């Protein structure tokens, strides 16, 4: 059990909900049209949409450990946010401020289990931005 489990300092859970790939790849899907008009898109209340990622985001103000956050996101049919552009990074930071002034919150980044000096996103992507990450526990998260 790492420092994160003991300290429980994490107060904001950012949940990234990606629209299903079948909707994204559909000829009928228009990412530049307001998603609120589309009945097949499940997220509406309290979720914010970012057009360039065609994804929905929500910040949760609750204390939760990393593994619990991952599990909770899966239950919500989403996952912890993986940030792949400066625009998305800025969007997520502003969203986090709406829930709490704390600057620490879990995102979908972890230490690569095969290379301790390397970070990766839970979605398998490699970090492209110069971001600051604090890994909480000895378990690689």
- Residue 59: per-residue pLDDT: 85
**Residue 128 vs residue 2, higher pLDDT:** 128
Q: Output the CA–CA distances (angstroms, integers) from residue 19 to 24, 65, 73, 107, 139, in the order listed.
A: 7, 25, 14, 18, 30
108 pLDDT above the threshold of 60: yes
- Residue 71, domain extent: 3-121
Q: Tell me, yes or no, whether 139 lies in a domain.
A: no
Q: Tell me, yes or no, whether 97 lies in a domain.
A: yes
pTM of the model: 0.62
Q: Tell me, yes or no, whether 135 lies in a domain.
A: no
Q: For residue 41, name the pLDDT band (cuts at 50, 70, 90).
A: low
Q: For residue 131, name the pLDDT band (cuts at 50, 70, 90).
A: low
Q: Tell me, yes or no, whether 55 lies in a domain.
A: yes
**Residue 116 vs residue 101, higher pLDDT:** 116
Q: Tell me, yes or no, whether 130 lies in a domain.
A: no
Reduced to 3 states (helix: H, G, I; strand: E, B; else coil), residue 94 is helix
Q: Tell me, yes or no, whether 36 lies in a domain.
A: yes
32 pLDDT above the threshold of 50: no
Note the pLDDT tens digit of each residue in 60-69.
777 788 889 8
- Residue 27: per-residue pLDDT: 36
What is the total count of domains within the chain? 1
């Amino acid at each position: 059990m790492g420092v994160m489990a003991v300290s429980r300092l994490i107060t904001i859970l950012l949940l990234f909900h990606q629209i299903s790939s079948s909707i994204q790849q559909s000829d009928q899907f228009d990412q530049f049209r307001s998603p609120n008009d589309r009945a097949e898109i499940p997220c509406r209340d309290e979720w914010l949409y970012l057009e360039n990622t065609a994804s929905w985001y929500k910040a949760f103000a609750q204390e939760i450990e990393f593994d619990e956050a991952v599990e909770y996101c899966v239950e919500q049919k989403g996952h912890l946010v993986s940030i792949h552009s400066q625009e998305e990074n800025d969007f997520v930071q502003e969203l986090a401020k709406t829930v709490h002034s704390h600057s620490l919150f879990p995102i979908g980044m972890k230490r690569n289990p095969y290379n301790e000096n390397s970070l990766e996103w839970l979605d398998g992507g490699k970090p492209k931005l110069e971001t600051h990450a604090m890994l909480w526990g000895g378990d690689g998260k």
